[in-house]
Structure formats: C-alpha cells, structure tokens
Structure 1
C-alpha cells in the first residue's frame, strides 16, 4: 500500500468514527482520544511503509544484484510511542564474504534485536525517574510494557551524566558547593546513603523566594567518595576559569564524606550549615528560649570560650541523664566543626545552605518517600538518573549517542536509498481527496493542512 492510500484509508475511517461519535453524544475528550488513536495508527502504518520502501529500493539497486542475494523475508515488531510497528523486510547474504544483514534496518539505523524503539525507551526512563517502574510501563496506553522492560531500559542506558555545553568557561569569584545525604532502604534490609552534591553561583531573590543560580547536581549511592569529588572537580574545571575563583564554599552537616571534598576542590572553605547547627543547639538547651539565645549569640560571634561556658550552663541545668547526654553530644558536634562555624561568620558572602530541601526534592521523592527496597545497581542508577533529569539532560540524545551504527553500504548508496524512499512521500498532494473540485469539506481542509505542515486552515464558515 502506497503512502497516499494509507492517508486516504485511515483518514476516511477517522471521519466515519468522528461522525458516529458526534451522533452518539461523545464528549470533546472522547473525540480527542479517537483522533489520537487514529493519528497513532497513521504514524505506525507510515513507519511500516518506510521500511518496505527502503527494502524495495535496495532490491531494485544494481549494487544489491551484484553483491547481495536475498535469503528470505522476515518480520519483526518494534514498539514505539505510537504503538506496535510490524516491519517486513528481506534478509540478505553477501555473495563474496558470506555475511548476513538486514540492510533496510541498517540504512534506517534500526538496532538489531531491539523490540522497543529508542524514543519509547527514553520516555519510559524519564517517566520512571518520577514514578514506579510499573506505573511508568502503564503510562502510555498505546505502548504498555512490563515493569521488567522499564527496568531493562534503565539498565541498558547505564550511567547518564549531563555536562552543559559552553563555548567558553565562565568567570566567577565565588562558588558554592552544598552536600547532604538521604537514607535509602535496600533489599538486603540495610539502609544506605544516597549522597547529593550540587554546585551553584549563589542565590538571587525572586519575590519572596531565593533562587540558586546555575545549579548542577551530582548523586550517588556508592561509597567511593573519591570518584564523587573528582566528578565535581571535573565539572568545575570544565565550566569555570579556576584561576578567577577566589573561594569555593563547601557547606554541609560536617559528615566525613563532605569534609573529604576539601582534599579535592582547590580554594575550598568548609561551612557548617545552620540547620544542623541549630538542631544540636536545641538538643542542648532543652526548650529554654533564653539559654538558646545566649548560646546562639556566642556561636554567631565565633566565641569558643563563651560557647563552652553556655554549654556548661546547659549541662548544669539538665535534670535528667538523657538531657545531660544530649548536651555532651551537642558540645562534641559543635567543637568538632568549630572551624566551619567560624567560617560562616568570618566571610560576608556565605549564604544559607538549602541541602535538606534539595535532597528531599532530588532524591527522597523517588528513592525513599515510599516503602520500597532497592538493589545496589538500581539505587545507584536511579540517584544518577534523578540528577541527570534535574540538570536538564536529554535522555533520548544520551541514548542516541551510545548507539553504534554499523552500515555495510557506502555513504553514497545509503543516501541514494533514502532519496528513493522520500519520493514515495512527495505524492501526498496526489491523494484523491486533495484533488477534488469541492474545496470546502472538513477532510480536505485537514489534509491540506497536513500537506503544508500546518493545521491553521479554517474549518467551516
């Protein structure tokens, strides 16, 4: 069936169903679903025709007759976002080398053995970054797949890393690096850390809210802290002129893996984030607002002796062993991170750390907010996928970049076959409905709009 006949047959069926729907009282939403179904049907048939035309072009070519013999004709199914596409094409054997190939597949860069199209894979991966594998597999009613298929698509994609392309490096005097972790349940019963690090250029007020400028995320569940910080350093070196950077603030809760960043990032200055500092202060004062103010004043002044004095008062006021234990814990935490506390008061361009919120938004929303158990590979891939998506990465482009195209035809021959396929689509203007004398029917106006790449033709009077 040629392309013109495909258009005419399916559009005719659509017109009939629309008319039936209108007479039977179908709602706008139901009519939209009907149109969607037929547009997808039209798309799958066109794709099937493209493969058939490419294969026919090769059959008729002198190169094929000289070098390749037809072995048999095979059919394979490829699931796309529009639905199942059943492709029929010939299997060839090279007369000299004895190698076998589906040459039409190669010309159109259709990977061997794939049952799911790259575009659908990308869509499934994107959906799975925000919902369960099962829900992602059911999200498109025209291309439903199992949760296992969704997981396989993610595994096949591997680790996705997005580095924005820039013509030249940026010059900034200060960079901010913030870090925190989530705790993710795994199938072996253990909770493991999912670490989040993000780099930005400071905050800008937008109404009542502050927005971080040019944020870039890094996430992992690996225990390899060195690889994580080297990845952060590589990004900074690729994005910024390091010689112009005067300070890199590393803000966090004082965890060992966060402190380790100072060993990799030049000109780095540790900062203890106010959230965790205040958390331990509240533990120490036990609800005494006056004592809390005195302790906070001492910390903000960077006065270690005054801080020790106020903590001693907290200890003496404590009425239970539990409270006294909490005071000692707070004292140890604050003094272990004293340099980071001092730095927060020493440098005027230090800003508040919002790592808790970012961890919730980037990691917890998918990894730990619902009861689930991850495998090690799954949690690592999902944490990195979440960072990739929030960094603005294009999943389809990343998958396409990974693809290896092995074409046995010359570039010239490939272009020749593609041009012959194009000719089959240049006859859309010859569809009988477009040649009729009455130029006011709705089907005429719709198809004419498709022909010219627009649907801006007025339907009706």
Structure 2
C-alpha cells in the first residue's frame, strides 16, 4: 500500500505517519507491531489498515477476548483474583474495572426465543438488594444503592422431600436501576417468549376490584390441585390475597410497587455485591449486575458484549476503505 502511490491517491488515501508502534495485550500475550496511518480524504477519517485486519479498535490496549474473559471472572470474583485467573501479563485491577465499564448488554438479544411457549401460569418474583457505594474523594459516611431484581419462572418442581427449585428461571435487572425500564423489559420478555393469552390471569380482577369473582376464581384454582402440600400453600396464598384485598387493589390501581423474594436476590445479587464488606461505584454496579444476570441466565460472556460500544462511524469508514483496497 505504501508503494502504490497512484492507486492510493485515486482512492483518496494519503500517508500521514509511517511505522507507528502499537502494543496490544492478547490472549497469547503482548502483541507489538508497527503500522502506517492513512487519511481517507473521501470519508474524512484516519484509517489504520493493519489495526483493521487484526480487529483492533482505536485506543484499544487490551483485545476484546481478553476483556471478555476478565469480565467473566469478575462476575464471581474480585478484580485482583480475576486478573490472576486470566493470567495475562501487564493487566491491572483498573483494567478489569475498565473492561466492565466498556461492556454493553442493555439490549440483550437472548431475551426473545424463536417459538413462544404455551403455559397456563408464570411465577414472577420481585425484590431488591441494598449495595454499599463508594463516596467520591473518600468522603466518610455511608451511601447505598437499591438494585431491583425480577425473576420469571415457569413454576416449581420437587428436588427432594424438603427442597424445591424453580423451572427455567430468567432474571432481569436494569443497569440504571430504573424500575420503569425494568418492568418494560419484563413485559418484553414475557410477550416475546410466551403466548400471553393462554396464561391465566387474576390481575384483571384486581384492577377492576372484582373481589367476589376473584374468590370464585381462586377457589377453583385450589380445587384443581391434587398435591395436598401444594394445595395448602395455594390456599394460604389465596387467603392472604383476600384478607389484604384493599391494599392489593391500591397497589395495582395506584401504581404502588411491591412484592418480595429474598432467595433470588441473595443468589443473584447479594452473593457478589453486598454480602461482603465492599463498596462499588454506581456505574460499575449497574454494568456488572447486568453482566452477572446475563451469565446466570445461561449465556456466555464473550467479545459480543463489546459489539455496541461506539466507534460505528470509524468502523464504517474503515470497511469502505478496505472495500476500495
């Protein structure tokens, strides 16, 4: 490319710098090379063809695969332990933190499946974790962030006489801790994965304050259950709803938040964020909670978590330049 001056100029490429050194940490170690920097007059952007061939973006010091591996380890471990487990030289705890911050999973494509399921009921659990935050400039005192969690399951099943487990649990959090955004994601997941019209509902009866009809519906629901133990639990739940009918109606009609399931929060959030004495920045907490939930839902942490992190204009221009070359 450097020697083909006429060809380059016809494509609008001008050499700006030659043999500029670059170092990047990869899964095989530190890669060091030199490359030429060109200016594309047509697209009005600087391009570095060698970087493009390697798939390395501007200012990237650690490749995406290594960053994804660091994030994968940080989901369950401290920054220090995460970098030691990845075992790549010249990586600091700050590098682990930066890898988390640069991820982007707000638009999780794994939420929607190809074919919707037919179910009569879904179980939805909602609760929150309370996580200590770091105050800027080491200011004394405590700061706390509430992290809401919603878990959607297809019911429960027996594991042993004294233990049950949820069926196909799916956890949802929001990186900005916005409950409105969170419940929108819950709605999108349910509508995208289940035939909603086939799910039996009591919400309509609560919203319209039809207590007598709700009592009849719940009585039929309990009578249809053959397992005596499960039937007793269902009846207790129905009695709770009837005894607290006015408050439940107010909660739905007045948009008052509620519901609680501490077990899910303990397993999904508290185990990493609040069980041990540590403080978090709000931004890292938001990013890492989304990543942790993503992995808990059975997904892999790989380089795709950086697929929507910016530089789109740069990549488009580079692609156009490569096509010309």
Normalising to structure 2: TM-score of the pair? Answer: 0.70
- The 3 A distance-change label for structure 1 pair 355 and 300 is closer
1:157 aligns with one of 67, 90, 103 = 103
Query: Aligned pair 1:397/2:304, yes or no?
Result: yes
Unmatched 5+ residue regions in structure 2? 136-141, 208-213, 215-231, 249-258
Shift of residue 150 of structure 1?
Answer: 1.3
Whole-angstrom distance in 1 between the partners of 2:68 and 2:316: 22
- The 3 A distance-change label for structure 1 pair 105 and 412 is closer
1:190-201 aligned within 5 A? 190-201=143-154
- The 3 A distance-change label for structure 1 pair 135 and 144 is farther
Shift of residue 69 of structure 1?
Answer: 4.3
1:132-143 aligned within 5 A? 132-143=78-89
8 Å CA contact 1:78–1:115 kept in 2: the answer is yes
- The 3 A distance-change label for structure 1 pair 337 and 400 is farther
After TM superposition, the structure 1 stretch with the greater mean CA deviation from structure 2, 218-227 or 70-79, is: 218-227
Query: Aligned pair 1:176/2:123, yes or no?
Result: yes
After TM superposition, the structure 1 stretch with the greater mean CA deviation from structure 2, 168-177 or 180-189, is: 180-189
8 Å CA contact 1:161–1:384 kept in 2: the answer is no
Query: Aligned pair 1:203/2:150, yes or no?
Result: no
Whole-angstrom distance in 2 between the partners of 1:221 and 1:178: 19
SS across alignment from 2:188: helix
SS across alignment from 1:370: coil
Paired residues, number:
274
The structure in which a higher percent of residues are helix is: 1
> Which residue of structure 2 aligns with residue 224 of structure 1?
178
Shift of residue 381 of structure 1?
Answer: 2.2
> Which residue of structure 1 aligns with residue 283 of structure 2?
377
> Which residue of structure 1 aligns with residue 219 of structure 2?
none
> Which residue of structure 2 aligns with residue 111 of structure 1?
57
- The 3 A distance-change label for structure 1 pair 220 and 401 is closer
Whole-angstrom distance in 2 between the partners of 1:237 and 1:335: 26
1:333-348 aligned within 5 A? 338-339=244-245
Whole-angstrom distance in 2 between the partners of 1:99 and 1:192: 42
Shift of residue 386 of structure 1?
Answer: 1.6
SS across alignment from 1:92: strand
8 Å CA contact 1:124–1:150 kept in 2: the answer is yes
Query: Aligned pair 1:406/2:316, yes or no?
Result: yes
8 Å CA contact 2:268–2:296 kept in 1: the answer is yes
Whole-angstrom distance in 2 between the partners of 1:81 and 1:152: 17
Whole-angstrom distance in 1 between the partners of 2:120 and 2:41: 66
- The 3 A distance-change label for structure 1 pair 160 and 226 is closer
Deviations 1:147-194 (A, max 9, x none): 222111111114545334422222211111012222212224033322
1:11-26 aligned within 5 A? none
Q: Compare CA radii of gyration and give the structure with the larger one.
A: 1
1:128 aligns with one of 56, 65, 74 = 74
1:423-434 aligned within 5 A? none
- RMSD (CA atoms): 3.7
8 Å CA contact 2:134–2:279 kept in 1: the answer is yes
Deviations 1:93-116 (A, max 9, x none): 447777532122224432111111
Shift of residue 131 of structure 1?
Answer: 1.2
Whole-angstrom distance in 2 between the partners of 1:412 and 1:375: 40
- The 3 A distance-change label for structure 1 pair 201 and 155 is same
Whole-angstrom distance in 2 between the partners of 1:97 and 1:192: 45
Whole-angstrom distance in 1 between the partners of 2:174 and 2:78: 19
Query: Aligned pair 1:91/2:37, yes or no?
Result: yes
